Amino acid sequence: MYQLEQPIYFYILFAIPVIVVVFLLLLVWKKSIQKKFIDKELLKKLSPNRSIFKSVLKILVLCLAIVCMSFALVNPKIGTKLETVKREGVDIVFALDVSKSMLAEDIAPNRLEKSKQLITQIINGLAGDRIGIIGYAGSAFPQVPITSDFSAAKLFLNGMNTNMVSSQGTAITQAIEMAQNFYDDEEQTNRVLFLISDGEDHGGNISSIAKNASEKGIKIFTIGVGTVEGAPIPIKKNGILQYYKRDQNNEQVITRLGEETLKEIANTANGEYIDGTNTKAVVDRVNAILSGMDKKEFEAKQFTDFKDQFQWFLAGALFLLVLDVFFLERQTAWLKKLNLFNEKEKQ
């Protein structure tokens, strides 16, 4: 297992192609100038010790030194010990609505992107908890199983969109039913489901499904994203608006936040309805809810005692810079005596 302390320093590597291009341009320019003002054979006699091969080696060594220096500044660390550590937390499942109505732009940038921002910020505030993600529209689908790998979860979250489900609608009931099978720890006393949606439902019988989930120890907290005034649903291609969604009567569809539906679910499942307009307010409220819950202790293996490895790359960079002295375009007297490139004239 490894860590990169300062990965921003990898940008230094962009200097390498610049150096190579400048070197090649300089080489071509020198050739053209020499060809213009002096004869090739005469140049050999005037400057017998000049070596293009050594110039190429010089650039190669310099580029390798930059690579080593970049890695030294990034400071990779290697985990040298695998330990079993105890963590405390709750199991949290996020059910994200990815139906077309979530494209409405009554909340910036749109309902879906706002929902993803909310989930990301909530995850950033978690510590020893485990999370899972469900997506749903006309049907529900598992996106991320229960895991403690927050980075992977956020990566899959960012890739969620309204094209992931072919059947449209908002089957909230299916999402709640699927969440009941997500919790894989029978001893976990606190099971939390955050349902992020605009509240439109076409799945029916929400109360009984929410009550069934509550009986299994699942608390459902709903986060409403959108406005009660509503907005049309833009259909875009490559970021360009094509048209607004219309119904069978060719009337423009206006989608509105269904707060009553979300409040009903939360009340039935011993949870709470949270207005998703203000990101900070949502995150603060979620943190308060989770901090008030009993945490279950569980074991997890993880690498500890990470050791710095920058010194190896720094030593390599210094070695290459010293070696660079040997690759001069003109040979020094002492270097010529060493005959490193077997260039002594044969008698």
pLDDT digits (tens, 9 = 90+) for 212-238: 999 888 999 999 999 999 999 998 888
Adjacent-strand bridge partners of 240 = 237
Q: Which residues pair with 299 in a beta bridge?
A: 86
For position 51, what pLDDT does the model report? 61
The DSSP 8-state label assigned to residue 8 in this structure reads G
Band (pLDDT 50/70/90 cuts) for residue 120 is very high
Distances in Å between the Cα of 82 and the Cα atoms of 78, 149, 299 are 11, 17, 13
- The DSSP bridge partners found for residue 224 are 197, 275
Q: Which domains does the chain have, with CATH numbers?
A: 2-75+309-338 (no CATH), 86-301 (3.40.50.410)
**317 near 65, Cβ under 8 Å?**
yes
For position 39, what pLDDT does the model report? 65
Per-residue model confidence as pLDDT tens digits over 59-88: 898 899 999 999 999 988 886 665 665 667
Q: For residue 338, what are its two tokens?
A: 């060493």
Band of residue 346 on the pLDDT scale cut at 50, 70, 90: very low
User: What distance in Å separates the CA atoms of residue 156 and residue 174, rounded to the nearest whole number?
Assistant: 20
Band (pLDDT 50/70/90 cuts) for residue 49 is low
Residue 1 pLDDT: 65
In this prediction, residue 164 carries a pLDDT of: 86
What gap in Å lies between CA 314 and CA 62, rounded to an integer? 14
pLDDT, one tens digit per residue, over 222-278 is 999 999 999 999 988 888 989 999 988 899 999 999 999 899 999 999 999 999 999
HEC string for 93-162 = EEEEECCHHHHCCCCCCCHHHHHHHHHHHHHHCCCCCEEEEEEECCCEEEEEEEECCHHHHHHHHHCCCC
The residue assigned the tokens 């920058």 is 310
Q: Mention every residue, 6+ apart, whose C-beta is less than 8 A from residue 140.
A: 95, 134, 171, 174, 175, 177, 178
What pLDDT score was predicted for residue 333? Answer: 52
Taking the C-alpha atoms of residue 50 and residue 327, their distance in angstroms, rounded to an integer, is 11
Q: How far apart are CA 326 and CA 343, in angstroms?
A: 14
CB-based contacts of 195: which residues, under 8 Å, 6+ apart?
Answer: 95, 172, 175, 176, 220, 221, 222, 223, 262, 265
Rounded to whole angstroms, the Cα distance separating 235 from 319 reads 59
Average pLDDT of the chain, as a whole number: 83
- Which tens digit of pLDDT belongs to each residue from 25-41? 988 888 787 677 666 66
pLDDT at residue 182 in the model: 85
pTM over cut 0.85: no
Position 78 scores a pLDDT of 80
Distances (CA, A) of 36 to 26, 28, 39: 15, 12, 8
List pLDDT tens digits, range 162-199: 988 877 766 788 889 999 888 876 666 678 999 999 98
* 76-89/296-308 β-pairing: antiparallel
In this predicted structure, the answer to whether residue 92 has a pLDDT above a threshold of 60 is yes
